[in-house]
Amino acid sequence: MRKFPIIIDLETKHTFREYSEHEKLGISVMALYDYNTQKGIVFEEKELSKSFPILENASYVIGYNSNGFDLPVLQAYYPGNILALSTFDLLEDIRIKIGRRLGLNDMAAATLGKKKTGHGLMAIDYYKEGKIEAGTVFIETLIVAEKARGKDIGTSLIQAAEQFGKKYEAHRTWLVTGKEWSENIFYKKLGFQLVGKLSDFYLHADFVLYTRKIR
């Protein structure tokens, strides 16, 4: 029987700040794309065993840092040796070919012309709030003309985005901004919390990730 590759990506329940061992991070959700059926499947933690036959029958299990992260985390759930599967780690292949690692965001921008619209910390936050299936508002860019600043226009735009999101059961807002940009003060005044740093995120500049609950 002909075998087909699959692509996997998973999100954890905890960070390495909480646990240093992969097997203790836990899985909240795993996404899988099967080239055989040309369909994507999402497995919650209690459903992970359903993915094992698909993994075992795949020609290759493909991921981005999957050998270094995803599969070691999944090992805690898999009854056999997860690394015995045939795998193709894109990040590992890039490192071998060019001698260094590249972030997934950089790869997406270079090959697809698009940036990631989320961050792994979002998934951990969803899990801890018990809102795995709930929506989120993600603000990628917010620009107010300099002469129009100080008139609460930025605040009104964020509130309008959040009210729109609430119609679709969004419970949290996320946004990114430059690490050294003056807007950091503005977002903190609005109650946004700094939760992540995105090194070399865009045009070789460092960005930061903020979030707050939608009221």
Token pair recorded at residue 112: 């697809």
Which amino acid is residue 108, in one-letter code?
A
Structure-derived torsion over alpha carbons of residues 172, 173, 176, 181, reported in degrees to the nearest 10: -120
Token pair recorded at residue 85: 């599967």
Ranges of CATH 3.40.630.30 domains, the chain: 120-213
Closest C-alpha to 5, from 60, 52, 56, 49: 60
Q: State the pLDDT confidence band at 204, using cuts at 50, 70 and 90.
A: confident
Ranges of CATH 3.30.420.10 domains, the chain: 6-102
Residue 199 above 70 pLDDT?
yes
Buried residues in 88-105 as b, exposed as e (16+ CB within 10 A): ebbbbeeeeeeeeeebeb
- Sheet bearing 193-202, strands edge to edge: 135-139, 170-178, 205-213, 193-202
> Residue 209, Cβ neighbours under 10 Å: how many?
20
| C-beta of residue 179 within 8 angstroms of C-beta of residue 197 | yes
CATH fourth-level superfamily of 120-213: Gcn5-related N-acetyltransferase (GNAT) (3.40.630.30)
Residue 189 above 60 pLDDT?
yes
pLDDT (tens digit per residue) in 43-87 = 889 899 999 999 999 999 999 999 999 999 999 999 999 989 999
Q: What is the pTM of this model?
A: 0.63
Arithmetic mean of pLDDT, 108-117: 77
- Percentage of the chain beyond pLDDT 90 is 52
Token pair recorded at residue 214: 């939608």
Arithmetic mean of pLDDT, 35-48: 89
| C-beta of residue 108 within 8 angstroms of C-beta of residue 114 | yes
Q: Which of 10-14, 22-26, 110-114, 126-130 has the lowest mean pLDDT?
A: 126-130
Arithmetic mean of pLDDT, 112-141: 74
Residue 1 above 80 pLDDT?
no
Q: State the pLDDT confidence band at 113, using cuts at 50, 70 and 90.
A: confident
Which amino acid is residue 57, in one-letter code?
N
CATH code, residues 6-102: 3.30.420.10
Token pair recorded at residue 70: 């995803």
